[in-house]
Structure 1
């Protein structure tokens, strides 16, 4: 009886102990938190350039990234995005923890590599090579032979001028498809149309332009109004109908860059400036400057700058509406000639103009105050700056002045410089790109066509 009581007591004690013990209740695992931030603070990027994204997730989470729904082999908190595919892309990141997941995403746009930057158009050595394009990105990265890299073919022989309109780049070459003697390199011809962002060729015109004699410049209002200058004068080419029409009265058109403003083309011609409008086969007007014109450049307010060299040399501003003279300043120092080249004797940002007469001596003219000052002789800062090949150009946004020089003729042209000067406070050589040009025909800023 005692043993039974003892056993029963032990059982009761065990049951009481079991009931008094705290029950373990398993808590549900929370869905991990996740967010994504753009470290680069840019929502768009050029082909081949990089954007960085950073994920912030709950502690202990495993991360996985994706682009447009396709998994990327990255598990770090920082994701490096690089793409050559144009258009919108979705960057996603997923945080996983104990079979729970949450995701975040953001959008980014990839645009063409060549949308923003500076082009140097190269004539090339006509006896051994065709034209080419050198591109300098806004970050200072140089792409040599950009057109060839985009297409696997060359520009025409002796490339002369380019123009950007409606996201298309138009490039004119003096000798067209006539290949450099002995080069063996096929080229795409006289007038080439390429995508302005990617440089992919969209069209090439040769047989349609056989009447042209040594064409040198191009200016575009639209696809039906592509204006070409050659030794005979100005022609209007319609890329839709393939019809080339001579502009009556334009035979004195000078071998200088044409300016486009407010759907009109302004052309240097001896002592005059011709004005040509869309769909017209005759000149609208010939503005008499009463002095030899060395440059015609669009002003930032839509009016037109004109430089004249006949003593006294002047820089004038012409009203684009009624072609009246707004103001003319006499130049007290330096010379506003175009030299032997085919680019304007002046270049402008706002009311600040620069000129060098195709020499290494750079001058600045402030139009509103009618003041001119010598800025620098590039030879004192740039090694082997022997010959200036075509005129200087000022960036329409940064205000930096670009200068192309070669060491000399013969094989010395292979030693060359693209020099960038900053005159915002004193004189500074902000960049110098060595040995990228081949007889540079001109400097072209994408911002100058916007």
Structure 2
């Protein structure tokens, strides 16, 4: 009996000691975790990269996932890249002492070509189709962008493009035949593609067979795609595929058309035609009384018009009633459009640039009526011998883009897309070599917003 009492007493002592130790054990700490967006961007283009890092308790291990799928990354830094458009959820989990905590954020992926600069290439008309070169906001160049997106080609001698409601419309002079009538394998005279991804959404060739060397396109809506050819202006309905000549539009010039106030403004010798939606006749013909060399939309919706002749001018026209707001004489440099199909002027705000389709660039401040010489591209750019279509000013940065080639023949493959910054002393901020093939023009996605 005594032994039993002693044993029972020992058990109570051990139990008491054990309870005392449990009361003093520290609780296991759950790790703290914070997901940091390094670039502070919540939207990114396809194939581009966002960087994330994690802040967590020392000694933690990490796992990353995207939309609930393990990203197979254990590092504290995660590079997010996706081709899938739309919203995605990035999550990081931290593990320490078998305790888990997580943090997440949402990011959006948009099409690779939504923001940036397009250079449309005619191509060599007898040997190849047109093509599209894309320069991203970061300066990354994608050659043959349309072909890479679709595995098929643009039409022969691509001439102009227009972006409307997230669709890009590209017109080609010859479609599926070249200048001498030989057949070419391509997507036809008018191609419609997603403006973010360049995936083809529509292609038209036989429907436009009556057109003779079409050169320009502007869009009011899907039922009013206005195409300019050697006969004048046509209204094409992409839904019904009906093509209608716009009466009174004969003589429309081989120059870029612009849209303002849901109306199209198109140069026509000494006049500017106005075309409204669903109308089979021009609505107005503004008489400039001198050859129009450029029609450009102002950032306030009004219209810039340049003309050559005895007294070259740059005029600003009211887009509502077509009245003259103001006209400035141009006594230095030339506002000629040259042989190309792009306007002789380009504008950002109150500042306009022109070069007369040459390498000497001039700047005109409209409100002040002053014009000054900025630079001769030849002094900064090697092989800038022939300007192929006119300069264009970036609507956000104010930088001026100039396309040049070394010479005709096979020397067109030696070329430059030169970017000039005129915020201070003239400087060459970028120069992209040997990416173009007879460039038909420079187009900024931001211009179509």
The answer, yes or no, to whether TM exceeds 0.5 is yes
1:310-329 equivalences under 5 Å are 310-329=309-328
Instruction: Look up the SS of the partner of 2:447 in the other structure.
Output: helix
CA-to-aligned-CA distance 1:147-193 (integer Å, 9 cap, x gap)? 00000111000000000000000000000011688999621000000
Q: Does 1:24 align with 2:21?
A: yes
The runs of 5 or more residues in structure 1 that have no matched partner are: none
* C-alpha contact (below 8 Å) 2:386/2:405 kept by paired residues: yes
Q: How many residues align?
A: 443
Counterpart of 1:294 in structure 2 is 293
User: What is the Cα deviation at residue 24 of structure 1?
Assistant: 2.4
SS at match of 2:411: helix
**Conserved? CA contact 1:65–1:93, under 8 Å:** yes
Can you list the C-alpha shifts for 1:75-119, whole angstroms capped at 9, x where unaligned?
Answer: 111111000111000001111223321211100000000000000
What residue number does 1:71 align with?
A: 70
Distance 2:87 2:14 in 1: 66
Contact 1:179/1:186, CA 8 A, preserved across alignment: no
Of the structure 1 ranges 355-364 and 95-104, higher mean CA displacement relative to structure 2 is found in: 95-104
Contact kept, 8 Å, 1:336 with 1:345, in 2: the verdict is: yes
Q: 1:154 to 1:18 in 2, by over 3 A?
A: closer
Of structures 1 and 2, the larger Rg is shown by 1
Residue aligning to 2:164 = 165
Equivalent in the alignment of 2:351: 352
SS in 2 for 1:149: helix
Counterpart CA distance in 2 for 1:107 and 1:162 is: 34
Secondary structure, aligned partner of 1:417: strand
Measured after TM superposition, the shift of residue 375 of structure 1 is: 0.7
Q: Aligned-residue CA RMSD in angstroms?
A: 2.1
Q: Distance in 1 between matches of 2:10 and 2:207?
A: 109
CA deviations on 1:186-209 (whole Å, 9 max, x unpaired) are 210000000000000000011110
1:23 Cα deviation after fit: 3.7
Mapped to 1, the partners of 2:183 and 2:250 lie a distance apart of 35
Partner of 1:99: 98
Scaled by the length of structure 2, what TM-score is found? 0.95
Deviations 1:27-52 (CA, angstroms, capped at 9, x unpaired): 33122221111001100000000001
Q: Determine helix, strand or coil for the equivalent of 2:21.
A: coil
8 Å CA contact 1:360, 1:379 repeated in 2: yes
- 1:115 has 2:88 as partner: no
Note the alpha carbon deviations across 1:114-141, whole angstroms, 9 max, x for none: 0000000000001111000000000000
**Any idea what the Cα deviations from partners look like across 1:378-419, whole Å, max 9, x if unmatched?**
011100001000000000110000000000001110100000
2:131 aligned with 1:146: no
Cα–Cα, structure 1 residues 416 and 183, in superposed 2: closer, same or farther, change >3 Å? Answer: farther
Q: Contact 2:257/2:264 (CA < 8 Å) preserved in 1?
A: yes
Structure 2 unmatched runs, 5+: none
Whether the aligned pair in 1 keeps the contact of 2:176 and 2:183 (CA below 8 Å) is no
